[in-house]
Structure 1
Amino acid sequence: MALTLTRPSWAMIRRAVFGDTSLIVWQMVFQNLLRIVSSMVLTRLLSADDFAVVGVITSVLVTVALVSDIGVGAFIVRDERTVERRFRDEVWTLRLARGIILSVLTAVFAGPLANFMEKPALAPVIAVAGLTSLIDGLGSLAPIVALRSRKVRKLIGIDVGAQILGLAISIGLAAVIGSYWAIILSNLISQALGVVFSYVLYDDSSQRWRLSMQRSAELWRFSRFITGSTILTLAITQGDKLILSRLLPLDVLGLYVIAGGLAMAPMALVSGYAGRILYPLLAEVRREAPETLAWRFYHDRMVPTLLYAFAAGGLIGFGPSLIVLLYDPRYTGAGAYLQIMAIAPFFMMGNYAANEVMIALGHPRFTFTVNVVRLIYLLVAGWLGWTFLGVIGIVWAVGTVEVVAQLYGWIALRRQAILDLRYEMLFLLVGGAGLSVGAAADFVIRHVLKIA
């Protein structure tokens, strides 16, 4: 008897393959393919020293951005007045003022910062790269408004196009310039194109300068814990590179940066899903049907979380062979770093989900306190690791920081009557299965290629 699919079955397949959550997954797969292609090409055009410089500059820029984060995205998505043009203009003005101030301060302190890292030649690079703050501030808020309206398909389509264009620009400049300046300049050009896209490709995207002290005070009341949290995030996510830039030569630091980039590859799915799907959904549920929030928290993210857990676990097990397959022998040493650093992304899907539901419930303080937990752990574990194991001990501290964040998140979810340990254990078991499969594949490839 032939198997036929009914219309409901086709509808289910279409939702499974082309639904918003699935599109985020497809975007993550595509982004990581682009990341791999970019990394394979650029590592052949540039040196490990160049990647070390880019890693240090990126840490500086992320530091500047996090220290001054005012939570514009979360503020716009959550607020009922987003439909009002004046309200959006006032928020946009605050973001632009922040960008101007940050670019100026980055240029002013570029020299002292480069001297602190004992790399004075990087001062002009830091100053030029600091223009990203200004460019970011010039962009329209229309993409954030589209996110609030859950126009995920449009956002993904524009993002993918911009990423392809950015890849072409970076490879072209690397072939011509042949130094870290290629990546720095390509990032600036890509970001400037993103600003143009934010006005041209979205409806009702124009912005006007409207300075409002009342809106400034209101935004600060909303984002003060977010701002404090992002300052802590700065120390957590960038402190390792700033510290290791003083402890390691550039070629070894370059291996660490490459490994870190691959380890964070799954974050394309985590940040995209949490920010574009989960948070708008939970905010809507909190407004319209709060009694279903606990059930929706697990039900709506079940499939993507299981898939993510398996893939992230596989990355831990397969990490060393991945380096061997992607890069030439100069970069083999990055394999040991990758396997350790991939532990943190394994736990990030659950940790991001806990953060989004707590903010949707009106508890932005959670973001701050969980980062305090992370920072305390890094300080203690990092010091112990350095004392007994040296540099690799610091890497272990960085790789395992999300474990303690997971435990703290479970405590917070239990207090809100949301935690269900049956699902949490299922996620960990599926991740363990992925790790086993990845480790088995790593063993086979090392045996076939005769790698020690």
Structure 2
Amino acid sequence: MSQDADATTELSEPQQSRKAMASRALGSGAWSTINFGVAQVMRLGSNLILTRLLSPDDFGLMALVTSCMIGLTMFSDMGLGPSIAQSKRGDDPDFLNTAWTIKVIRGFIILAVAIVMAWPMSIFFNAPAFAWIFPTAAASMVVGGFFPTRIDTAARHLQLRRLTIIELTNQFLGILILIALALIMRNVWALAIGSVMGAFVQLAMFHYFLPGHIDRFGMERTAREEIVKFGKWIFFSTICGFLLFQGDRIILGRILTLEQLGIFNIGQFLGTLPAVLGAAIASRLFIPIYREHPPGESAENRRALQRIRGGFSLLLMSMAIVLSLVGPSVVDFLYDSRYLHAGGILVAVACIQMLIVIPMSYETAALASGDSRAFFILQSSRAGIYIVTLLIGVWLFGLAGLLAGQALAQLFCYPVAVWTARRQGAWDPRHDLIAASIAVAAAAFALTLHRDIVAAALLH
């Protein structure tokens, strides 16, 4: 009798583990969604205020500065966050100290490179003010280098409640700083200086209100070797990631005026909300899940992951569909006549997002298993396909061709995503087929419904 009871207990342990994982995943996903939702509402509110204090030219210039800062960040990324999330030593003080020291050094390198790049890039974009604004804004990366590894360990253990509260508080304080500076300065310098001041606020908040390991300068050889081994492929992957997520703005910086770029940036900001939310959730949710319950290990793990992925895709797809249907009305209500064509850009971008979110959870499968090389192959293939389709589209049809190239790139990149997912036993073809069918139907309906608005925006 006791043996039967023990057997029942043993059989129930995996089920209990999966239930615990599902509960933690649900909680973490909820906090990530709350973080994203409140943050985007605050960001939208700040944009509405700042668009009335600053000109579209200011937003266009800051979009270029932001894209180049993201580029420097991604070109120097060693995958420190994912390294801490997936490593067995992710809670080891020596490992964390080594990761933090590397991050601090990296922040100073980014600033030095920004200073060197500023003048040539200002000539490339034909924007003289870029030479001074860019290094000023890049100083925030030095401050960001001192952010504690407690941020990464909280995400590693899906302990996101306190982290979410701190991050939202940081954003709120940063917005207040930006608005105050914009009221005083009334030009793009308010955005650049505000980003640096906001970084100092974030550092103080994380230091005093997020518990955990106190980082010290240190460089343990074993930890450094593990980080470099894992991070070398992340480094190359993030270079490709920059081309994927910022390549369109760099290209548009050459073919649009700063005013047109500012309008495009508003439409893209609203239209890409689903993908931004998906990236925020995936980076904090799926790596711990894949690490603790690999889908290739058992059918039960795969089924549990399929349910989580289904809910994840349903949330993102619903957001994209709603934005594609009501986006122009939202833009008309929120912004003045200078941003009229942002509504058409929003519809087109939201339709593309329906395709982007389908394989989004596959990217983290390789990172969770420590296979950063497979992740690099995925990202480099996607980047190559993406840039080629964008350049061909821009060359043939301008802005309309660029957006069409983005959509085609998602179709051409899908086989590579499948290859990555199958290596980890994570591919879910039924999910992808259903999601793709919904995406194509919804995008066709939205583009037909708003065809005049979209056409006017793309030909503007």
When residues 257 and 355 of structure 1 are mapped into structure 2, their CA distance, relative to the original with a 3 A threshold, is same
Q: Percent identity?
A: 25
Residue 311 (str. 1) matches residue 300 (str. 2) = no
1:370 to partner: Cα distance: 2.3
Partner of 2:8: none
| Alignment check: 8 A CA contact 1:31 1:268 kept | no
Sort the Cα spacing of 1:135 and 1:413 in 2 relative to 1 into closer, same or farther, 3 A. same
Give 1:138 shift: 1.0
Displacement of 1:51 in angstroms is 0.4
Structure 2 residue 172 is matched with structure 1 residue 164: yes
Partner of 1:64: 72
Corresponding letter in the other structure for 1:113: M
RMSD: 2.8
C-alpha distance after superposition, 1:237-292 (max 9, x if no partner): 22222222222211111111222211222234212211122221221113996664
Q: Which moved more, 1:124-133 or 1:419-428?
A: 419-428
> Which of 102, 112, 127 is matched with 2:135 structurally?
127
Q: Is the 8 A contact 1:355 1:366 kept in 2?
A: no
Range that drifts further, 289-298 or 322-331: 289-298
Kindly indicate whether residue 407 of structure 2 is the aligned counterpart of residue 396 of structure 1: no
AA matched with 1:374: R
Q: 2:203 aligns with which of 178, 195, 202?
A: 195
Check 1:379–1:202 CA distance in 2 against 1; reply closer, same or farther (3 A cut). closer
Q: Deviations over 1:422-445 (max 9, x none)?
A: 2222333454676588679869x9
After superposition, the Cα gap between the structure-2 partners of 1:352 and 1:304, relative to the gap in structure 1 and judged at 3 Å, is closer
What CA distance in whole angstroms lies between the structure 2 residues aligned with 1:199 and 1:416?
37
User: Which deviations, in whole Å up to 9, do the C-alpha atoms of 1:84-142 show, x marking residues without a partner?
Assistant: 22221111111111111111221232112222222232111111111122111111111
Among candidates 257, 266, 269, match of residue 274 of structure 2: 266
Aligned residues: 432
Shift of 1:73: 0.4
Q: 1:376 aligns with which of 379, 384, 399?
A: 384
Distance of aligned partners of 1:434 and 1:32 in 2 relative to their CA distance in 1, 3 Å threshold? farther
Letter in 2 for 1:266: P
Contact 2:163 / 2:210 at 8 angstroms: preserved in 1? no
Alpha-carbon distance between aligned partners in 1 of 2:27 and 2:423, rounded to the nearest angstrom: 32
Q: CA deviation at 1:406?
A: 3.2
Q: What is the correspondence of 1:19-418 to structure 2 with a 5 Å cutoff?
A: 19-286=27-294, 292-414=300-422, 416-418=424-426
Distance of aligned partners of 1:17 and 1:335 in 2 relative to their CA distance in 1, 3 Å threshold: same
Please report the TM-score for the alignment, with normalisation by the length of structure 1. 0.87
Q: 414-423 vs 255-264, which deviates more?
A: 414-423
Q: CA offsets per residue over residues 128-180 of structure 1, 9 Å max, x none? A: 11112211111111111111121111121111212222222222222221111
Structure 1 pair 27/324, CA: closer, same or farther in 2 (3 Å)? same
Q: CA deviation at 1:54?
A: 0.7
Task: Could you tell me which runs of 5 or more consecutive residues in structure 1 were left unpaired when the two chains were aligned.
Answer: 1-14, 447-452
TM-score by length of 2: 0.86
Distance 1:441 1:116, change over 3 A: closer
Give the aligned residue type for 1:176: I
Name the residue aligned to 2:10.
none
